Amino acid sequence: MPEPQTPPAGPRRGRRIAAVSLGIALVCASTAAFLTVRDAPSAPTPDAAKAAGGAERRAANTFLRAPGSPMTVIAHRGASSAAPENTLVSDEVARRGGARWIENDVQPSRDGVPYVLHDTTVDRTTDGTGPIRGLTARQLDRLDAGSWFAPVFTGVRVPTLAAQLDDLRLRGGNLVLEIKGPHSRDEVARIVKEVRDHGMAGRVLVQSFDPEALRHTRALAPELPLGLLRDTLDPDPVAVAAELGLSAYNPAVGQLNAHPEAVGKLHAAGVAVMAWTVDTADRWKTLDSLGTDAIITNRPAELAGWNAAWAQGRQSGS
C-alpha cells in the first residue's frame, strides 16, 4: 500500500527513538533467534433469491466481523512503528502485541524469487540501492534491512516470501499478502506455489491494487480469498467485488469517512471491509461505529489494547 498518512519513518531520528522505546522490550529477546533461525416450497422471488444468496455469502465469509466482536487487527508491514517494516522481527513484535494478522508486500527479484518489500527499490529500507526487480536473490540476501531503523536491528534481512510463510506457520499468525504492482501470470503462479507448498492456503488473504493480479490469483488458486485495495472508492463497489470474487474490499480510510454507506452495502453482499492505514483512536472509534471489519495499522499493539478496552466497556455496559 502507499505510505500511510502518518508514516512510521520521518522525521527519522525522532521516529526511531519512539519506535525503539515501544519495541525494544519485545524485540531484544527475539532478535538473535531471528538472525540464527532463519482455524417443497414455492420458488423464491428474484429479490428473495438475491437476499438468500447474500446471506450464504455472509455466512461463508469468515472475514466479516461477528456481531459483538471487535475489529480485526492487521499489522501493516508488521509492527512498522516499532520495528523495521516487512521483516520477520516486525512480524514477531506485531504477534507479541496481539495481532493475529500480518500485512506485507511481495515482489520478485531479478531471478523470480518472491521477496517481502514495499518499495520498488531497496534504497529506503536497506543499505543497498537499486530496484528490487534488478537485483538477484543472492544480492538481496546480503542486504541489511534493519540498521536504517535503529542500531539494535542491525543484521535483520529482507525476507523471502518462503521465509515469512515458514515463520508464520511455525510461530503463528495469518497473512494479508499484497501483490505489489503489476505481476505477470507466471509471477503470480510462483507466489501461489509458495503459499501452497508451505501449507498456508488456509491462512492467507491475497490483496492488490491491481485487479489483473487478483484475476490471475483467482484463476490459479480459487481457494485463496481476495481483497481489492482502493485509493478511491469505485462508483459501485459491490459490482466490482462481485466481478472479482472478493472476500474483502479494502479502501483508504478517508474514502469510508466520505462514503460511510458503502460498508452496509458491501456487508449486504457478503463482502468484508478492511480500512487502511489507521493509527489513531479517534479514527478507530469512527470506523468501529460504521461496522468496519478490520483495520490495517502501523500500531497493532495499541489497536489491540483499544479493542480490549472496547470489549471491557461492552461487558460493563459503559
Catalytic center residues: 76, 118
What is the Cβ-side half-sphere exposure of residue 127, based on CA atoms within 13 angstroms?
Answer: 15
Contact at 8 Å (CB) between 188 and 216?
Answer: yes
Q: What is the CA radius of gyration of the chain?
A: 20
Exposure string of 197-206, with b = 16+ CB inside 10 Å and e = fewer, is: ebebeebbbb
Residues in the chain: 318
Question: How far apart, in Å, are the Cα atoms of 63 and each of 84, 249, 252, 294?
Answer: 27, 11, 18, 8
Helix (H, G, I), strand (E, B) or coil at 265: helix
Please name the helix (run of DSSP H) or strand (run of DSSP E) that holds residue 79, with its range, or none.
none
CA neighbours within 13 Å on the CB side: how many for 173? Answer: 30
Query: CA 78, CA 168: separation in Å to the nearest integer?
Result: 12
Which residues on adjacent β-strands are paired with residue 207? Answer: 178, 227
301 near 81, Cβ under 8 Å?
no
DSSP classification of residue 145 = -
Reference 233, options 212, 215, 249, 210; nearest CA is 249
Q: How far apart, in whole angstroms, are the C-alpha atoms of residue 111 and residue 198?
A: 20
229 touches 210 (CB < 8 A): no
